[in-house]
Protein backbone atom coordinates (compact mmCIF):
# COMPACT_ATOMS: atom_id res chain seq x y z
CA UNK A 1 0.00 0.00 0.00
CA UNK A 2 2.76 2.41 0.95
CA UNK A 3 4.74 1.58 -2.19
CA UNK A 4 1.66 2.17 -4.33
CA UNK A 5 1.08 5.57 -2.79
CA UNK A 6 4.71 6.48 -3.35
CA UNK A 7 4.51 5.50 -7.01
CA UNK A 8 1.35 7.56 -7.46
CA UNK A 9 3.00 10.55 -5.77
CA UNK A 10 5.91 10.33 -8.21
CA UNK A 11 3.74 9.81 -11.29
CA UNK A 12 4.44 12.27 -14.17
CA UNK A 13 0.94 13.69 -14.09
CA UNK A 14 1.26 14.40 -10.35
CA UNK A 15 4.63 16.12 -10.82
CA UNK A 16 3.23 18.12 -13.72
CA UNK A 17 0.27 19.24 -11.62
CA UNK A 18 2.62 20.38 -8.85
CA UNK A 19 4.75 22.30 -11.36
CA UNK A 20 1.72 24.04 -12.79
CA UNK A 21 0.58 24.99 -9.30
CA UNK A 22 3.88 25.82 -7.58
CA UNK A 23 6.14 26.56 -10.53
CA UNK A 24 6.87 30.12 -9.45
CA UNK A 25 8.07 28.93 -6.05
CA UNK A 26 10.21 26.21 -7.62
CA UNK A 27 11.95 28.73 -9.87
CA UNK A 28 12.31 31.17 -6.97
CA UNK A 29 14.15 28.44 -5.09
CA UNK A 30 16.42 27.90 -8.09
CA UNK A 31 17.22 31.62 -8.28
CA UNK A 32 17.98 31.80 -4.56
CA UNK A 33 20.29 28.80 -4.83
CA UNK A 34 22.09 30.42 -7.78
CA UNK A 35 22.74 33.49 -5.64
CA UNK A 36 24.99 31.34 -3.47
CA UNK A 37 27.66 31.82 -6.16
CA UNK A 38 28.04 35.43 -5.02
CA UNK A 39 26.72 35.18 -1.47
CA UNK A 40 29.94 36.70 -0.07
CA UNK A 41 29.39 39.78 -2.22
CA UNK A 42 25.79 39.98 -1.04
CA UNK A 43 26.82 39.80 2.62
CA UNK A 44 29.66 42.31 2.28
CA UNK A 45 27.55 44.85 0.39
CA UNK A 46 24.50 44.38 2.64
CA UNK A 47 26.60 45.25 5.70
CA UNK A 48 29.35 47.41 4.22
CA UNK A 49 27.20 49.76 2.14
CA UNK A 50 25.00 51.00 5.01
CA UNK A 51 28.00 51.38 7.29
CA UNK A 52 29.90 53.41 4.70
CA UNK A 53 26.84 55.44 3.68
CA UNK A 54 25.83 56.31 7.23
CA UNK A 55 29.37 57.07 8.38
CA UNK A 56 30.27 59.25 5.40
CA UNK A 57 26.99 60.99 4.57
CA UNK A 58 24.96 60.64 7.74
CA UNK A 59 27.70 61.23 10.30
CA UNK A 60 30.66 62.86 8.57
CA UNK A 61 28.68 65.27 6.37
CA UNK A 62 25.97 65.68 9.01
CA UNK A 63 28.49 67.11 11.50
CA UNK A 64 29.04 69.97 9.03
CA UNK A 65 25.52 70.42 7.68
CA UNK A 66 23.81 70.47 11.06
CA UNK A 67 25.95 73.43 12.16
CA UNK A 68 24.55 75.60 9.37
CA UNK A 69 21.77 77.91 10.64
CA UNK A 70 20.08 77.80 7.22
CA UNK A 71 19.90 74.00 7.07
CA UNK A 72 16.37 72.64 7.20
CA UNK A 73 15.64 68.94 6.84
CA UNK A 74 12.03 68.39 7.93
CA UNK A 75 12.91 69.60 11.40
CA UNK A 76 15.37 66.77 12.09
CA UNK A 77 19.13 66.27 11.86
CA UNK A 78 20.75 65.40 8.56
CA UNK A 79 21.43 61.81 9.63
CA UNK A 80 17.73 61.12 10.22
CA UNK A 81 16.88 62.87 6.96
CA UNK A 82 19.39 61.04 4.76
CA UNK A 83 19.33 57.53 6.27
CA UNK A 84 15.91 56.33 4.98
CA UNK A 85 16.67 57.67 1.50
CA UNK A 86 20.00 55.86 1.48
CA UNK A 87 18.22 52.60 2.37
CA UNK A 88 15.70 53.07 -0.43
CA UNK A 89 18.45 54.04 -2.89
CA UNK A 90 20.49 50.94 -2.09
CA UNK A 91 17.40 48.78 -2.63
CA UNK A 92 16.68 50.39 -6.01
CA UNK A 93 20.28 49.95 -7.16
CA UNK A 94 20.39 46.31 -6.08
CA UNK A 95 17.11 45.55 -7.82
CA UNK A 96 18.35 47.25 -10.99
CA UNK A 97 21.44 45.05 -11.01
CA UNK A 98 19.41 41.87 -10.46
CA UNK A 99 16.98 42.74 -13.26
CA UNK A 100 19.45 43.44 -16.06
CA UNK A 101 22.34 41.01 -16.62
CA UNK A 102 20.68 38.04 -14.84
CA UNK A 103 17.63 38.39 -17.10
CA UNK A 104 19.79 38.58 -20.21
CA UNK A 105 21.72 35.60 -18.86
CA UNK A 106 18.52 33.61 -18.60
CA UNK A 107 17.60 34.24 -22.22
CA UNK A 108 20.88 34.45 -24.09
CA UNK A 109 24.08 33.46 -22.32
CA UNK A 110 23.45 30.49 -20.05
CA UNK A 111 19.78 30.27 -21.12
CA UNK A 112 18.69 29.11 -17.70
CA UNK A 113 15.04 29.90 -18.45
CA UNK A 114 14.75 27.30 -21.18
CA UNK A 115 15.43 24.24 -19.03
CA UNK A 116 12.45 24.82 -16.72
CA UNK A 117 10.38 25.83 -19.74
CA UNK A 118 10.47 22.29 -21.19
CA UNK A 119 8.61 21.24 -18.04
CA UNK A 120 5.03 22.40 -17.37
CA UNK A 121 6.40 25.74 -16.03
CA UNK A 122 5.20 28.64 -18.17
CA UNK A 123 7.12 31.88 -18.84
CA UNK A 124 4.93 33.86 -16.46
CA UNK A 125 5.97 31.57 -13.62
CA UNK A 126 9.63 32.04 -14.49
CA UNK A 127 9.22 35.81 -14.40
CA UNK A 128 7.32 35.64 -11.11
CA UNK A 129 9.91 33.32 -9.57
CA UNK A 130 12.72 35.66 -10.58
CA UNK A 131 10.89 38.62 -9.04
CA UNK A 132 10.15 36.75 -5.80
CA UNK A 133 13.79 35.69 -5.41
CA UNK A 134 14.98 39.27 -5.90
CA UNK A 135 12.28 40.44 -3.50
CA UNK A 136 13.62 38.12 -0.80
CA UNK A 137 17.13 39.46 -1.35
CA UNK A 138 15.84 43.03 -1.04
CA UNK A 139 13.91 42.12 2.11
CA UNK A 140 17.04 40.77 3.77
CA UNK A 141 19.17 43.69 2.58
CA UNK A 142 16.66 46.32 3.75
CA UNK A 143 16.30 44.58 7.12
CA UNK A 144 20.07 44.63 7.68
CA UNK A 145 20.22 48.29 6.64
CA UNK A 146 17.37 49.13 9.02
CA UNK A 147 19.09 47.38 11.94
CA UNK A 148 22.23 49.39 11.25
CA UNK A 149 20.11 52.55 11.14
CA UNK A 150 18.83 51.66 14.60
CA UNK A 151 22.42 51.33 15.78
CA UNK A 152 23.18 54.82 14.47
CA UNK A 153 20.06 56.28 16.10
CA UNK A 154 18.73 57.36 12.70
CA UNK A 155 15.08 56.44 13.34
CA UNK A 156 12.72 58.70 15.27
CA UNK A 157 9.32 57.05 14.82
CA UNK A 158 7.79 53.83 16.22
CA UNK A 159 6.69 53.01 12.67
CA UNK A 160 10.28 53.09 11.40
CA UNK A 161 10.28 49.33 10.73
CA UNK A 162 7.98 50.04 7.78
CA UNK A 163 11.02 51.36 5.95
CA UNK A 164 11.79 47.72 5.09
CA UNK A 165 8.66 47.10 2.94
CA UNK A 166 8.95 50.63 1.56
CA UNK A 167 12.48 49.82 0.35
CA UNK A 168 11.31 46.59 -1.28
CA UNK A 169 8.35 48.35 -2.92
CA UNK A 170 10.53 51.12 -4.34
CA UNK A 171 13.08 48.62 -5.61
CA UNK A 172 10.44 46.60 -7.39
CA UNK A 173 8.76 49.70 -8.82
CA UNK A 174 12.01 50.50 -10.58
CA UNK A 175 13.22 46.95 -11.18
CA UNK A 176 10.23 45.24 -12.79
CA UNK A 177 9.95 47.64 -15.78
CA UNK A 178 13.71 47.25 -16.22
CA UNK A 179 13.27 43.47 -16.11
CA UNK A 180 10.61 43.69 -18.81
CA UNK A 181 12.93 45.79 -20.97
CA UNK A 182 15.83 43.36 -20.47
CA UNK A 183 13.54 40.50 -21.55
CA UNK A 184 12.64 42.37 -24.70
CA UNK A 185 16.07 43.13 -26.17
CA UNK A 186 18.16 40.56 -28.07
CA UNK A 187 21.59 42.21 -27.68
CA UNK A 188 22.96 44.06 -24.68
CA UNK A 189 25.32 46.37 -26.65
CA UNK A 190 26.32 48.27 -23.48
CA UNK A 191 22.70 49.29 -22.88
CA UNK A 192 22.80 48.25 -19.25
CA UNK A 193 25.90 50.36 -18.64
CA UNK A 194 24.12 53.31 -20.24
CA UNK A 195 21.09 52.72 -18.02
CA UNK A 196 23.30 52.72 -14.93
CA UNK A 197 25.11 55.87 -16.00
CA UNK A 198 22.31 57.97 -17.45
CA UNK A 199 19.22 56.77 -15.55
CA UNK A 200 20.10 55.11 -12.25
CA UNK A 201 22.82 57.53 -11.13
CA UNK A 202 20.96 60.74 -12.11
CA UNK A 203 17.90 59.49 -10.23
CA UNK A 204 20.12 58.77 -7.23
CA UNK A 205 21.47 62.32 -7.32
CA UNK A 206 18.31 64.24 -8.23
CA UNK A 207 15.53 62.41 -6.35
CA UNK A 208 15.82 64.15 -3.00
CA UNK A 209 18.24 61.62 -1.57
CA UNK A 210 20.71 64.10 -0.10
CA UNK A 211 18.59 67.27 0.04
CA UNK A 212 14.90 68.20 -0.28
CA UNK A 213 13.62 68.19 -3.83
CA UNK A 214 12.29 71.72 -3.36
CA UNK A 215 15.84 73.10 -3.10
CA UNK A 216 16.53 72.12 -6.72
CA UNK A 217 15.79 74.52 -9.60
CA UNK A 218 12.15 74.32 -10.64
CA UNK A 219 13.17 73.19 -14.12
CA UNK A 220 14.80 70.04 -12.69
CA UNK A 221 12.24 69.03 -10.07
CA UNK A 222 10.27 67.02 -12.62
CA UNK A 223 13.01 64.38 -12.43
CA UNK A 224 11.97 63.65 -8.88
CA UNK A 225 8.26 63.70 -9.62
CA UNK A 226 8.55 60.84 -12.12
CA UNK A 227 11.24 58.97 -10.20
CA UNK A 228 10.17 55.95 -8.14
CA UNK A 229 13.21 56.69 -6.01
CA UNK A 230 11.84 60.08 -4.89
CA UNK A 231 8.45 58.59 -4.04
CA UNK A 232 10.20 55.85 -2.08
CA UNK A 233 12.42 58.38 -0.30
CA UNK A 234 9.43 60.41 0.78
CA UNK A 235 7.61 57.33 2.09
CA UNK A 236 10.77 56.23 3.88
CA UNK A 237 11.05 59.56 5.67
CA UNK A 238 7.37 59.44 6.55
CA UNK A 239 7.72 56.15 8.44
CA UNK A 240 11.08 56.92 10.09
CA UNK A 241 10.64 60.61 10.93
CA UNK A 242 6.91 61.10 11.13
CA UNK A 243 4.28 62.89 9.00
CA UNK A 244 5.99 65.42 6.75
CA UNK A 245 3.44 65.64 3.92
CA UNK A 246 -0.35 65.79 3.48
CA UNK A 247 -2.23 62.50 3.36
CA UNK A 248 -3.19 62.87 -0.29
CA UNK A 249 0.47 63.12 -1.31
CA UNK A 250 1.34 60.04 0.73
CA UNK A 251 -1.40 58.19 -1.15
CA UNK A 252 0.10 59.39 -4.45
CA UNK A 253 3.48 57.93 -3.45
CA UNK A 254 1.99 54.53 -2.60
CA UNK A 255 -0.27 54.33 -5.66
CA UNK A 256 2.51 55.45 -8.01
CA UNK A 257 4.97 52.84 -6.75
CA UNK A 258 2.38 50.06 -6.70
CA UNK A 259 1.12 50.95 -10.19
CA UNK A 260 4.64 51.11 -11.63
CA UNK A 261 5.58 47.76 -10.09
CA UNK A 262 2.36 46.15 -11.34
CA UNK A 263 2.83 47.54 -14.83
CA UNK A 264 6.40 46.26 -14.90
CA UNK A 265 5.35 42.79 -13.79
CA UNK A 266 2.57 42.56 -16.39
CA UNK A 267 4.91 43.80 -19.13
CA UNK A 268 7.62 41.38 -18.03
CA UNK A 269 5.26 38.39 -18.15
CA UNK A 270 4.19 39.44 -21.65
CA UNK A 271 7.79 39.80 -22.85
CA UNK A 272 8.81 36.47 -21.30
CA UNK A 273 5.95 34.73 -23.09
CA UNK A 274 6.76 36.45 -26.40
CA UNK A 275 10.46 35.70 -26.08
CA UNK A 276 9.89 32.04 -25.33
CA UNK A 277 7.17 31.63 -28.01
CA UNK A 278 4.56 30.54 -25.49
For 134-193, the pLDDT digits (tens) are 999 999 999 999 999 999 999 989 999 999 999 999 999 999 999 999 999 998 889 999
- The pLDDT value given to residue 117: 85
The pTM assigned to this predicted structure is 0.91
Q: Of all residues in the chain, what percent carry a pLDDT higher than 70? A: 91
Numbers of helices and strands, H then E, in the chain? 14, 0
Residue 32 has pLDDT above 60, yes or no: yes
- The pLDDT value given to residue 96: 95
- 3-class state of residue 235 by DSSP: helix
Residue 85 has pLDDT above 90, yes or no: yes
Residue 217 has pLDDT above 50, yes or no: yes
**Contacts by 226-229 with C-beta closer than 8 Å and gap 24+?**
227/203, 228/92, 228/170, 228/173, 228/174, 228/256, 228/257, 228/260, 229/88, 229/89, 229/92, 229/170, 229/174, 229/203, 229/204
Residue 23 has pLDDT above 90, yes or no: no
User: Which residues have a Cβ under 8 Å from the Cβ of 160 and sit 6 or more positions away?
Assistant: 146, 149, 150, 239, 240
> Region 14-42: what's the mean pLDDT?
85
- The pLDDT value given to residue 1: 46
Q: Output 248 or 278, whichever has higher pLDDT.
A: 248
Strands, E, within 152-236: which ranges? none
User: Which residues have a Cβ under 8 Å from the Cβ of 145 and sit 6 or more positions away?
Assistant: 46, 49, 50, 86, 87, 90, 167
* Burial class of residue 100 in the structure, from the number of CB atoms within 10 Å of its CB (0-12 exposed, 13-18 middle, 19+ buried): buried
- The pLDDT value given to residue 5: 58
Dihedral of CA 216/219/225/227: which sign? Answer: negative
pLDDT single digits (tens) 261-270: 999 999 999 9
What is the residue extent of each domain of the chain? 2-275
Residue 6 has pLDDT above 50, yes or no: no
Residue 8 has pLDDT above 60, yes or no: no
- The pLDDT value given to residue 131: 97
- The pLDDT value given to residue 236: 95
Q: Of all residues in the chain, what percent carry a pLDDT higher than 90? A: 62
pLDDT single digits (tens) 86-138: 999 999 999 999 999 999 999 999 899 998 888 888 999 999 999 999 999 99
Amino acid sequence: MTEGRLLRAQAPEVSAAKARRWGSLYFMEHMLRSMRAYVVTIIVTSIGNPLLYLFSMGVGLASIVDRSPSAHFAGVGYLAFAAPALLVSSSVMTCANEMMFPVMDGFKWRRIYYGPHVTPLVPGQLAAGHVMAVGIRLLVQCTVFYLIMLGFGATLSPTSWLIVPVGVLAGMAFGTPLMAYAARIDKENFQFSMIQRFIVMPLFLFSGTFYPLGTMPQAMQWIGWISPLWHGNQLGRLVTIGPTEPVWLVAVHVVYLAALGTFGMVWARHNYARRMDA
